[in-house]
Structure 1
């Protein structure tokens, strides 16, 4: 590792020596109205036919020969700017851009822009435009980026009522979900009716499905990176919303104008308040809080502190209750070493926990579990010249897995206290990558990530005579490992590469390859991850999961850059994917490692996307054809079977129409073929016991899924004497009342009155449906 870092700095010093005749232009690009740094702004110099983009912290740097240049700054939704710079020495130039929300009528946004869809190197990446997302229909009127992500090509959902999503054949636990760099292990509220992301505080969100940059790791399928706003450092402002099921409030403003700022938001559902008022003991609610502080000491040093806390609580009278939640904290320091070398250092805390309680005098118990994580990261960007941007860094993460503790909650309880062992792991990563502009037509991105994973003590390791035997294995020995003693180490290299080749104007071809390594495994028996599934590290019995993905794409602009079209094909090969043996016992099992089975999975597909971002009518049409299969020894008789989130055809349509300055209408439509499920194919009798016979894993498919949602937003004319502005959002979820099947189960055949028909042994399949037509109204305020 030390040798690798020494080599990196040797390269930097060598390049610096070769380019001393040049000078550097750098700075930050910000929103003029609130001081927020803008991510991904295109900085282009026509004379050089070269440029760059602002990094995730709004910083840019260009090294050029001395001279006078016109520098163009362009960003979707902002007025393009051109500045003239006489570059005779290293120069700092910060740019304030005028956004849609602050434009006067006489300001015209340039309709001639460099279209990132074609020009940028990155493929298999989607950036959500929050202004556009807010115009689309939302369940119970609550804008949810997860629901919008589920509408993207290559992304599949298990159905309604879940925030889980599946990307290019990967399972839900193979998505890394980040908020201000901190991982979120369960992104759902109320079992997926809402997500943990409050749209009022979101600054930027990006989903990487392939061609994943080397700075990311730890998951096989995708990276969802969500960044929250830094807070308005110009003036005090805020927003609020009162909805059908939840309300929210956000306030932001300067601590010291242009120097430091804050933002805080809170959201809570109030179904429990109505139920309590009706003397109903079944109380259900969720809440979450976001907060952030930032301080700009000078242009070379800036500090951030971001916090998130969210929780769901379910209480069903004196019967049972459960709760789960995420808490994160991120402390970040941005430092500019010189005109070209930018550093971000982060200390990150994350905690996910859940609790379950059965309130019964005899069968009562409490069950608690959690996963704690502490990370330290240092990411550096070195802007070598207009043709090379180098990024490198080191990450270290420590995790403590507490899979479960069960204890009696009454003296008469039949349960005894059981503590499943804590598990500990240390994850190291060292990476380096370079984005190189070879010519006007060809741009490359290549890099390497080194993953070193250590499963460590303190713990007792159980040894078995045959751990993979489907009958009950027998323990043969126990080996104790003290604190921090190494149990198992895995070292993996993760190469990454991407290329973009420009064709005629407005067209390009792109290709990418990435290897991903995942050292954590979700212990889940069902299709949809619920909070009561637990995580395990790789170790003595579990091998890290690996994925190799290649993708090829064609990108083209139509009608003078007003329409974007893309077509991407991919193939993903996954090794050591984790499943469970048939009839596995996964709850409070001290010998859980004997229930794991690891095999292979493969997925391939085609994704088509047509996107319209400008004009009164905006929207997108996306189509995905894909196939995902698995083959795991000890599962399904060792034969291959479709993954339980395998949907062959998915069509998604989104549209928003600005009818007038007062009214905006939105619609979304989704259609997908049914997902596979496992159902009994027969039964047999044994001593008056009639168990089901299951002959095939995921051998039956549910009916097709389709749904239409509608919305209308009314914005009354603003009173110039009032600072605040209100709007009404009316929405209808499942407009034509489609009964979409969520899952299927079998029961003894009964008539419509609930009486058993026949001998009581014949069974029938029954569908479970979740949501009928659901109208909602929300009142939003900005001030």
Structure 2
């Protein structure tokens, strides 16, 4: 499996070199609440305790992967947030795992946000309006995860003018259309991406094929001056095949989501939002072998379905007191593994039983604002039923902050969360055969966290934000035998977790220069079966910096140079010398239950030069980027090789060029 993935990436990664660099987008609503400055707006803004919002408008300067304005990759650079390693698409927040971060795409849960084995995310930069990560205080309106909440929202189409955007790369094609359905009353947005390195691989007579495609759409219409209805859809699919003399192996995975939202304004003091959604994740493996007198075909699928709804009311009771309250409901079905096979014409069908999880919650948050003070006091009550047991959770949450003015503030928060889901990862990178299941043995995962922080304006254009936290977790499942786990025969043990750390972010903006630098110190430990060990994604030291400078800035033309630098401690890794032969005599390497070493430190520097010019009927944009400009080898896995050890490296030095043309105002 490791050789197949490494071979695919070695051939496919150059195909990413001309990926999409979407142009500027316009929305009738502001993406975030930003600090008022005389210079360029900051890339990241602390909105409240542990809540960071990213200014999407500024991301076009960032040298993100292969020119792709991948918002998820940028979120991984925030203080207190880690990507883990190259080839992972998750958000690891404050000592938590990927499944402990709730990812919402227009309020729809996403279970696998990866394209290209985690190198890119499913979120097209052309369609994203706003992105926020809440890792301290989380509104009682959201729950079901222990560590964090990530909210990504798509923009509406332009309500006044029709616009088109086209990006053409060597191996990629992307396009976006948006405009009014009825002028100033409704709009449409549709965006599609197609990544097709299999065409070049076929011409090169290579046995590996890989590609992905996705489409995003949104319709918005004012059915009444106080009521707006919107429909959003997303569908994406990744596929890879490897052909040999008598065999063919394939992998694939994809997400499909749909949501219907009604936003209403009943009067000046009462607003509501009702959302109904469906999300579906399917992962698949397919193998075929043919030889003289023997044939074997098999297909294994992993599926996750969820139907849900959310109703939220925001009511202002007085000048200082407002309420947020409502309810949520979801019905989830998990099909962890189902296999169909045909061996010499004989059909076989086997698999693990499907599992259900029905959950609901009521929430209430009191918000008080007077002078520079703000206080949030709320509670979330949740119920989870897995067809065998029903469990309840009460989650009080509170925060207190004071704004001194001139961008100086302090804040304090305490949060309790619960979780009824667990994700099992078979590999050390984002693979399509990770699966989700509901809680076992009547135990929900629980966590509590306290945070204390502040923000100070050190100079006219210089701001420093610092936040510290302490978190405890319990009932964390450690799965050591996936087959027994899925059969309900154990295969796991429960443990506890502890994490604490301090996060600092420095921001400096002038008319031409923007600098954001962050540092995080954290210590994350787990304890299972009497053994205390570092969490497998424990990163004691994590430093990130982003710099952009407008080399040319005059009406209608802008040239921007940018640099992105990331350095962090090496991750703990589970490595053993034990192995045993398979049926063909090849060694199968054993994996220990706990980390036994640390990998080398991670370092990556990306540079970009962006050339934007406004035309009479739109914008032209060239972007030149170099990913991993220093060619630093960052390992994602280590394995024994001829008496020694070798590392798998996914991302080498990668230059890229991309061109985007937009039409319309």
State TM-score, norm by structure 2.
0.89
Give the CA deviation at 1:115. 13
Are 1:608 and 2:600 counterparts? no
For residues 422 and 215 of structure 1, what CA distance do their matches in structure 2 show? 29
Point out the more displaced range, 647-656 or 604-613: 604-613
Q: 1:564 to 1:425 in 2, by over 3 A?
A: same
- Could you tell me which residue of structure 1 aligns to residue 594 of structure 2? 697
- Could you tell me which residue of structure 2 aligns to residue 443 of structure 1? 374
Q: Deviations over 1:466-512 (max 9, x none)?
A: xxxxxxxxxxxxxxxxxxxxx20010001110001345754222111
Are 1:430 and 2:362 counterparts? yes
For residues 432 and 580 of structure 1, what CA distance do their matches in structure 2 show? 35
Contact 1:307 1:330 in 2 (8 A): yes
For residues 217 and 613 of structure 1, what CA distance do their matches in structure 2 show? 35
For residues 201 and 591 of structure 2, what CA distance do their matches in structure 1 show? 41
- Could you tell me which residue of structure 2 aligns to residue 557 of structure 1? 457
Greater strand content: 2
- Could you tell me which residue of structure 2 aligns to residue 618 of structure 1? 514
- Could you tell me which residue of structure 2 aligns to residue 29 of structure 1? none
Give the CA deviation at 1:693. 8.2
- Could you tell me which residue of structure 1 aligns to residue 644 of structure 2? 764
For residues 507 and 114 of structure 2, what CA distance do their matches in structure 1 show? 28
Contact 1:179 1:225 in 2 (8 A): yes
- Could you tell me which residue of structure 1 aligns to residue 661 of structure 2? 781
Contact 1:618 1:657 in 2 (8 A): yes
Point out the more displaced range, 654-663 or 504-513: 504-513
Are 1:494 and 2:425 counterparts? no
Are 1:628 and 2:524 counterparts? yes
Q: 1:630 to 1:398 in 2, by over 3 A?
A: same
Give the CA deviation at 1:738. 0.9
- Could you tell me which residue of structure 2 aligns to residue 726 of structure 1? 620
Give the CA deviation at 1:694. 7.3
For residues 335 and 696 of structure 1, what CA distance do their matches in structure 2 show? 51
Point out the more displaced range, 237-246 or 346-355: 237-246
Q: Deviations over 1:263-297 (max 9, x none)?
A: 00000102012123334342210011000001112
For residues 375 and 615 of structure 2, what CA distance do their matches in structure 1 show? 52
Q: Deviations over 1:10-41 (max 9, x none)?
A: xxxxxxxxxxxxxxxxxxxxxxx966233555
Contact 1:527 1:644 in 2 (8 A): no
For residues 177 and 142 of structure 1, what CA distance do their matches in structure 2 show? 20
Give the CA deviation at 1:382. 0.2
Q: Given the alignment, which residue of 295, 299, 312 partners 1:366?
A: 299
Are 1:36 and 2:28 counterparts? yes
| Pairing 1:578-617 to 2, within 5 Å after superposition | 578-581=477-480, 584=481, 586-587=482-483, 591-617=487-513
Contact 1:34 1:233 in 2 (8 A): no
Q: Deviations over 1:571-610 (max 9, x none)?
A: 11111111123xx2x2597525511221111111110101
Q: Given the alignment, which residue of 278, 291, 295 partners 2:221?
A: 295
Are 1:137 and 2:63 counterparts? yes
Give the CA deviation at 1:181. 0.8
Q: Deviations over 1:625-653 (max 9, x none)?
A: 101111112xxxx3111111111111101
Instruction: Give the structure, 1 or 2, with the largest relative contact order (CA under 8 Å, sep 6 or more).
Output: 2
Give the CA deviation at 1:143. 1.2
Are 1:320 and 2:249 counterparts? yes
For residues 694 and 273 of structure 1, what CA distance do their matches in structure 2 show? 37
- Could you tell me which residue of structure 2 aligns to residue 272 of structure 1? 198
Give the unaligned 5+ runs of structure 2.
Answer: 1-24
Q: 1:196 to 1:693 in 2, by over 3 A?
A: closer
Q: 1:116 to 1:129 in 2, by over 3 A?
A: closer
Are 1:379 and 2:312 counterparts? yes
For residues 164 and 769 of structure 1, what CA distance do their matches in structure 2 show? 18
Q: Give the total of aligned pairs.
A: 625
Are 1:674 and 2:600 counterparts? no
RMSD: 2.6
- Could you tell me which residue of structure 1 aligns to residue 384 of structure 2? 453
- Could you tell me which residue of structure 2 aligns to residue 400 of structure 1? 333
Are 1:708 and 2:600 counterparts? no
Give the CA deviation at 1:365. 1.3
- Could you tell me which residue of structure 1 aligns to residue 3 of structure 2? none
Point out the more displaced range, 517-526 or 264-273: 517-526
Are 1:546 and 2:479 counterparts? no
Give the CA deviation at 1:699. 1.6
Give the CA deviation at 1:383. 1.6
- Could you tell me which residue of structure 2 aligns to residue 210 of structure 1? 136
Contact 1:394 1:431 in 2 (8 A): yes
| Pairing 1:40-439 to 2, within 5 Å after superposition | 122-317=48-243, 318-361=247-290, 362-411=295-344, 416-437=348-369, 439=370
Give the CA deviation at 1:242. 2.2
For residues 290 and 537 of structure 1, what CA distance do their matches in structure 2 show? 29
Q: 1:608 to 1:245 in 2, by over 3 A?
A: farther
Q: 1:700 to 1:535 in 2, by over 3 A?
A: same
Contact 2:417 2:446 in 1 (8 A): yes
For residues 668 and 141 of structure 1, what CA distance do their matches in structure 2 show? 13
Give the CA deviation at 1:110. 5.9
For residues 170 and 470 of structure 2, what CA distance do their matches in structure 1 show? 43
Are 1:574 and 2:453 counterparts? no
Q: 1:76 to 1:252 in 2, by over 3 A?
A: farther
Query: What SS does the corresponding residue of 2:360 show, helix, strand or coil?
Result: strand
Query: Quick check: which has more Rg, 1 or 2?
Result: 1
Contact 2:32 2:130 in 1 (8 A): no
For residues 224 and 116 of structure 2, what CA distance do their matches in structure 1 show? 43
Q: Deviations over 1:438-480 (max 9, x none)?
A: x424221110000111112xxxxxxxxxxxxxxxxxxxxxxxx
Query: What SS does the corresponding residue of 1:191 show, helix, strand or coil?
Result: helix
Contact 1:263 1:291 in 2 (8 A): yes
For residues 472 and 328 of structure 2, what CA distance do their matches in structure 1 show? 26
For residues 268 and 615 of structure 2, what CA distance do their matches in structure 1 show? 47
For residues 330 and 483 of structure 2, what CA distance do their matches in structure 1 show? 27
Give the CA deviation at 1:526. 4.0
| Pairing 1:678-689 to 2, within 5 Å after superposition | 678-680=574-576
Are 1:642 and 2:573 counterparts? no
Query: What SS does the corresponding residue of 2:552 show, helix, strand or coil?
Result: coil
Contact 1:525 1:580 in 2 (8 A): no
For residues 773 and 201 of structure 1, what CA distance do their matches in structure 2 show? 28
Contact 2:296 2:344 in 1 (8 A): no
Q: Deviations over 1:361-387 (max 9, x none)?
A: 455311012110001111000022331
- Could you tell me which residue of structure 2 aligns to residue 467 of structure 1? none
For residues 437 and 265 of structure 2, what CA distance do their matches in structure 1 show? 39
For residues 651 and 377 of structure 1, what CA distance do their matches in structure 2 show? 37
State TM-score, norm by structure 1.
0.76
Contact 2:484 2:490 in 1 (8 A): no
Give the unaligned 5+ runs of structure 1.
Answer: 1-32, 42-74, 78-108, 457-486, 750-762
